[in-house]
Amino acid sequence: MSSEAGVDTAVAGQHAYHSFSVRDLLRRRDFALLWAGQLLSQIGDQCLLVAAITLITDISASPLAILIPAISIALPQVLFGMVGGVVADRWNRKRVMVASDLLRAGLVLLILFVRSTGQLWVLYIAAAGLAVVGSFFYPARNAVIPNLVPGGMLLAANGLIQGSYILALIIGPTLAGVIVEMGGMTSAILFDSATFVVSAGTILLLRIPPLRNGSVLAAGQGSMWADMKTGLAFIRRSRPLRRALYVTAMATLGIGAVVLLAIPHLKTRLGAGGLEYGGAMSVLGLGSVLGGLLVSRLSRRVSTHVVIGGMLVLAGGAVMLFAYAPSYLVVLISVMVLGLCVVVARGALDTITQALAPDEVRGRVQAAVNLIVAGGTALAEGLSAFLGHFLGVQTTFVAAGMVTAAAGLVAVYTLRGGLPSYHR
């Protein structure tokens, strides 16, 4: 039996049918603890983001002051992403996650020492440090999700994890405004640090089975570089996994282009301001929550490749509708559809990459996914800024929608074989 066939057999074996609801999923103690801790931590991150941007703009008028932290966050994810995957496969994943959260709780506190332009370097170091530690945390987190839920619940679990990030994107800035108004920026920074400590506490309570170390794929049998090459070789040998990563890259390029140009587009086309943009973000969050709820029904009735393809095609249409929206109501409809589709599609793609990787190499596979998403988002934002300047924002949105829809069609025709199906 080839290695690829072995993976497909393992995938088929993981996904027996389960009749369940989102409530059933959240009744599973370990997953509920992880989800609640992540939601709180992500809300804290959004509070910190608002506080940091406010701090930077208060003490510096240079646009570079905001650009440098963005680079400080993106670059470490590219440089250390695969190393984080090796660590997630070498060491106890619970300990990796707890240590990462506690380190991030301390790094956030460094920002308290920033008081002037000359001290901004401290903020840049903190931002880079948070990104480095995050590149160790997220491969470990994504790798343990299949250990916390039955195979038939995996797609719904990933949908809820994806939805929690968007939900935090809505709640976080509003809460940050309240915290900063009542207690100043120091309170927002302390709040984010505390959320990492709480997240570490919830992870400590998780019951995660130990890693299997008998396989040739297991990390720790050679150097870091050798383990990294083993993970990359596994990805290269698994055709379904490679195809899933290609689709992830295409979808990231399409959807990532939307974020940077949404505000200028709304202002130019509809004369919308901050209030209207905030409303659109709230509706985006509502769509994401609906996606998290819908994914449990889809996971029982529709094949995974059809879920991904259909959601990405629909998301591409929503992006193009956003580009030509004649009214604010149409904008709200398009962003709600986009939020729903992105949560479901990204959750399904994560499910595929988790299911196709044995536990002992799953951290390295998830690190590759994170690397593709981080790099693809940065590339998409850079391209959208360039194309928006030379071709116009509306044309750029149309191009992004077409790329996203094309990723959906690619998913339908390339992910058909050997992937998990939940509707049997």
The pLDDT tens digits for 218-232 are: 666 678 888 888 888
- In the prediction, which pLDDT does 11 show? 39
65 confidence band (pLDDT: 50, 70, 90): low
- Phi and psi at 421, nearest 5°, equal -125, 135
**For range 297-307, the mean pLDDT:** 79
Q: Between 119 and 94, whose confidence is greater? A: 94
- In the prediction, which pLDDT does 119 show? 76
**For range 317-322, the mean pLDDT:** 92
Residue 137 pLDDT > 80, yes or no? yes
Give the CA distances from residue 23 to residues 17, 42, 308, in Å, rounded to whole numbers and listed in that order. Answer: 17, 21, 23
64 confidence band (pLDDT: 50, 70, 90): low
Residue 74 pLDDT > 80, yes or no? no
Q: Between 130 and 180, whose confidence is greater? A: 130
Alpha helices in 22-153 (DSSP H): 22-26, 29-59, 64-90, 93-109, 120-148
What is the 3-state secondary structure of 157-185?
HHHHHHHHHHHHHHHHHHHHHHHHHHHHH
- In the prediction, which pLDDT does 274 show? 60
**For range 193-216, the mean pLDDT:** 85
- Most confident stretch, 145-159, 254-268, 280-294: 145-159
**For range 277-281, the mean pLDDT:** 74
In the CATH hierarchy, which top-level class contains the domain 3-207+223-414?
A: mainly alpha
**For range 54-81, the mean pLDDT:** 67
Q: Between 212 and 162, whose confidence is greater? A: 162
- In the prediction, which pLDDT does 51 show? 76
In 3D space, the residue among 369, 360, 368 whose CA is nearest the CA of residue 219 turns out to be: 360
Angle at 369 between CA 411 and CA 124, to 5 degrees: 135
- In the prediction, which pLDDT does 268 show? 74
Q: Are 302 and 249 in contact, with CB atoms under 8 Å apart?
A: no
Residue 417 pLDDT > 70, yes or no? no
**Domain map of the chain by residue range?**
3-207+223-414
**CA-to-CA distance for 210 and 197, rounded, in angstroms?**
23
313 confidence band (pLDDT: 50, 70, 90): very high
Residue 17 pLDDT > 80, yes or no? no
Query: Residue 303 forms beta bridges with which residues?
Result: 421
Q: What is the mean pLDDT of the chain?
A: 81
- In the prediction, which pLDDT does 275 show? 66
pLDDT one-digit tens code per residue, 248-269: 999 998 888 776 677 677 777 7
**For range 276-281, the mean pLDDT:** 73
In 3D space, the residue among 363, 382, 362 whose CA is nearest the CA of residue 135 turns out to be: 363
- In the prediction, which pLDDT does 424 show? 36
**For range 106-131, the mean pLDDT:** 85
**For range 140-155, the mean pLDDT:** 88
Q: What is the percent of the chain where pLDDT is above 90? A: 29
Poorest-pLDDT segment among 29-38, 167-176, 189-198, 207-216: 207-216
